[in-house]
Amino acid sequence: MEQKYFKLFANCIPVKGASRSIICDLQRRDYQLIPNSLFDLLMSFPLFTITELIDAYGENERETLIEYVSFLEEHEFGGWLNDHSAFQPLDLTWFKPSEITNSIIDWNKDSDFEFEPIFNELNDLNCQYLQLRFFDHFKKVRLEELLTSLDRSSILSIEIFFHDSLEFTTNDFQRLLRRFPRITRLIVHSAKENRYFNDPEHFLDLIALNYTTQKITDEAHCGEVHSGYFSCNIDHFTEAKQFNTCLNKKISIDKKGQICNCPSMTQKFGKIGDATLNATLINEEFTTKWSTNKDQIETCKDCEFRYICSDCRAYTEGNLPLSKPAKCNYDPYKGEWN
Amino acid sequence: MILILTSSDDQSTLEVIQWLNFYGLAWVKIDSSTPLTLIELILDDKEEEFIVETPSGDRIDTRKITAYWYRRGHLKLNLKYALEDYLNDDTQRQFEQHMQAEINVLIDSLHFCLAKKKRLNTFQTADLNKHFVLSKAKDAGLKIPATLVTSYKSVFGHFELENGSLISKAIQHGIRFRLHEKKGWTEYLTYTESVDASIVPDLFFPTLFQSKLDKAFELRIFYLNDDFYTMAIFSQKDEKTAVDFRNYNFEKPNRTIPYALPEEIKVKLSALMKSLKLESGSIDMVVTKNNVFVFLEVNPVGQYGMVSNPCNYHLDQKIAHYLNPSP
Ligand code: SF4
Ligand code: SF4
């Protein structure tokens, strides 16, 4: 029988960190921690047989090597074949047919801008993800009007932060989720207690309705980095390799109606009404922030999670443009969450 | 102007349209559920064109069509104006059928007219006879599974002796249906993963049998105008999916990874696609443990997203490029 060699599948990609590594399974949307010694082995031996490994590392390492290989087999990170030549690496380019892919619009009781013209502009830019953050009470009829006006737009997914109000019972919120399937998450803040509801009729069965006692009264709540926010998939991984996973193709409107990359950033690009979103995109100062990727960010560039992690450029350590997100508690040099 | 004929719910169409918009290319979409009114169909020394009107009053003049994508579905002509005046309670059914047949031929003529444009597939090639395709594949020099259609157990038995274990498939279209039995709903499929000779009756409905391939992995190939985008599917690991990838296993999905076809197979597949007059299509093949490439079938209107997304091939964008009048 011909000799069979082991090779990682193209969608299982090892990423090395300062103290340990991970294998990102981009197909099954999951990752596994591995020691750096296994990462190095995989780099030195893109194809191997067990005999070859034992020859290279010595008989003493036999047990560890067999343990490594059975780990890779168990997770189906690779396969044994006698000819691997036709198996190609994954194309890691990222592009989207949209000028803008995501947007945040903030509102409080002093806001004096209209939503609809912004929605129209976002639609022209083929924006798909929208976050609406209401820091104060917002009228029920008005919310329904806004959502209805998005019914035929390019927006596929809407996340809403809503101030709890007597106008809405839990039932009302659930009815809203059903009536507007584009709402993927509804967070009701300033609530009396923390509660979530899994809506069985909601197509993804996500936690669609979430009450929190946290008071979200301005943009400062944003920017947290957490392993729960990791996304291990081709789209995120490829975007993270080249671009900033928070700010790339994002445009936002802060509560004062000012155009910005994100409401927490101090630099503003004129008031909506006086300036257009489209014109802002021509400004290089605006778009340059899109390309700050994790390989350029201090600490993150040594972190094994860098291509599955989110990022924040508004709240950074020491407020420096290339330091790590201030609200991340992970230390890649120790491999510990603090 | 790019014309797209598609079914109303097709996701791939929407994705390609996003790219057309992004490139600033003008397009018009007809979906099979939209009844069109024929204004004119002209054929003379100078031209072969038609004009139809949509229910919202927009006119589509084929003179302005720079490229045509037949994605799926069919054209539908408004029959109201054509039949209503002639039909009343006394009108004979025979007459109605005749008119319908005339209209169908007219629709065919429109499809022929569109097929003359710079195009990506045509209605005429949307549903190719599978036997015909296998025969053409053989002519193109591709290996195909030994295939038998029979109603007789004795013939089946001979074929099995010669070819080893067999699978059965639909002659053209498979369906899955559910029947209520004592224990609840049971799902039935019109293919079997391996035929148990002991339960084959002496005489049965004509059934297609093929030799069961000893596969190392399957290939799903998207062909686009002489380019190949291939995905290898490792399904053998899991007993549940040992015969057909479409029998999904959601818990642990089969490994789907990019693959480069050997030059020799590409040449043969290109010849096959040209002989079938297809500019694009999804091709299924199997690579056996002895490294033999076996052709199974081609689906001109298949869901190529299942190849594009796992392999990050950006096929929607590539289709939009192909349709661009000035690339
Ligand atoms: S940069 Fe930070 S604060 Fe701004 S949107 Fe992103 S995560 Fe939030
Ligand atoms: S160090 Fe950087 S990449 Fe690592 S978890 Fe924190 S923010 Fe994410």
pLDDT digits (tens, 9 = 90+) for B196-221: 888 888 999 999 999 999 999 999 99
**Ligand 1 centroid from CA A314, angstroms:** 6
- Cβ within 8 Å of residue B35, ≥6 positions away: B55, B76, B77, B78, B79, B80
Tell me: do A51 and A152 sit in the same domain.
no
Residues of A in contact with B306 (CB under 8 A): none
Chain B partners of A242 at a C-beta cutoff of 8 Å? none
> By alpha-carbon position, which residue is closest to atom 2 of ligand 2?
A300
My answer on whether A73 and A127 are in the same domain is: no
> pLDDT tens digits, residue range A82-99?
888 899 999 999 999 999
Q: Do A34 and A144 sit in the same domain of this protein?
A: no
Q: End-to-end CA distance of chain A, in Å?
A: 52
Cα of A145 vs centre of ligand 2, distance in Å, is: 39
Shared-domain flag, residues A81 and A142: no
Q: Which atom of ligand 2 is nearest to the CA of A311?
A: 7
* Residue A118 is assigned to a structural domain of this protein: yes
pLDDT number for residue B212? 92
Whether A173 and A260 share a structural domain: yes
Q: Which among B188, B147, B153, B155 has a CA at the least distance from the CA of B171?
A: B147
A76–B252 C-beta distance less than 8 A: yes
Q: What are the boundaries of each domain within chain B?
A: 2-124, 127-145+214-300, 146-212
Percent pLDDT > 70 in chain A is: 96
List the domain range (segments joined by +) for residue A35.
5-86
Residue A292 CA to ligand 2 center (angstroms) comes to 14
> Do B202 and B212 meet the contact criterion of CB atoms below 8 Å apart?
no
Q: Inter-chain contact A11–B19, Cβ cutoff 8 Å?
A: no
Q: Which two tokens stand for residue B146?
A: 């030994």
Which ligand lies nearest to the CA atom of residue A300 in the structure? Answer: 2
Structurally, chain A folds into a number of domains equal to 2
Q: What does the mean pLDDT of chain A come to? A: 94
pLDDT at B91: 63
Helices (H), chain A: 36-44, 50-57, 62-74, 115-124, 140-149, 170-179, 234-242, 277-280, 284-287
Mean pLDDT, residues A9-19 taken together? 98
Please check whether residue A336 lies inside any domain of the structure.
no
- In the predicted model, is pLDDT for residue A298 greater than 80? yes
Q: What are phi and psi of A251, to 5 degrees?
A: -140, 140
Are A284 and A319 part of one and the same domain? Answer: yes
Are residues A135 and A207 both part of a single domain?
A: yes
Tell the burial category of B178 from Cβ atoms under 10 Å away from its Cβ (0-12, 13-18, 19+): exposed
Q: Which of A86, A111, A131 is the last residue of a domain?
A: A86
- pLDDT band per the 50, 70, 90 thresholds, residue A207: low
Domain boundary among A24, A55, A86: A86
A175 and A245 assigned to the same domain: yes
CATH of the domain at A32: 3.90.930
**Residue B249's pLDDT is what?**
47
Contact A95 B314 (CB under 8 A): yes
Q: Supply the residue whose CA is at minimum distance from atom 1 of ligand 2.
A: A300
Residues A310-336 have pLDDT tens digits of 999 999 999 999 999 999 999 999 999
Q: What mean pLDDT do residues A256-261 have?
A: 98
Residue ranges in chain B whose pLDDT is less than 50: 238-242, 245-250
Enter the ipTM: 0.89
**Cβ-nearest to A27 among B232, B256, B259:** B256
Residue at a domain's end among A29, A61, A86: A86
Assess A89–B contact: CB distance below 8 Å, yes or no. yes
The predicted pLDDT at position B209 comes to 93
The answer on A112 and A40 residing in a single domain is: no
Do A197 and A69 share a structural domain? no
- The 10s digit of each residue's pLDDT in B16-43 is 999 999 999 999 999 988 999 999 999 9
Q: What is the pLDDT of residues A172-201, one digit of tens each?
A: 998 898 899 899 999 999 999 998 877 555
> Mean pLDDT throughout A16-33?
97
- Please tell me if the CB atom of residue A313 comes closer than 6 angstroms to any atom of ligand 1: yes
Q: Which residues of B touch A95 (CB under 8 A)?
A: 314, 317
> CA B154, CA A55: separation in Å to the nearest integer?
57
3-state SS assignment for residue A61? helix
Kindly indicate whether the domain formed by B127-145+214-300 is annotated with CATH number 3.30.470.20: yes
Residue ranges of A 61-80 with Cβ closer than 8 A to chain B: 76, 79
The finding on whether A246 has its CB within 6 A of some atom of ligand 1 is yes
From A296, A300, A308, the mutation candidate for ligand 2 (largest count of ligand atoms within 8 A of CB) is A300
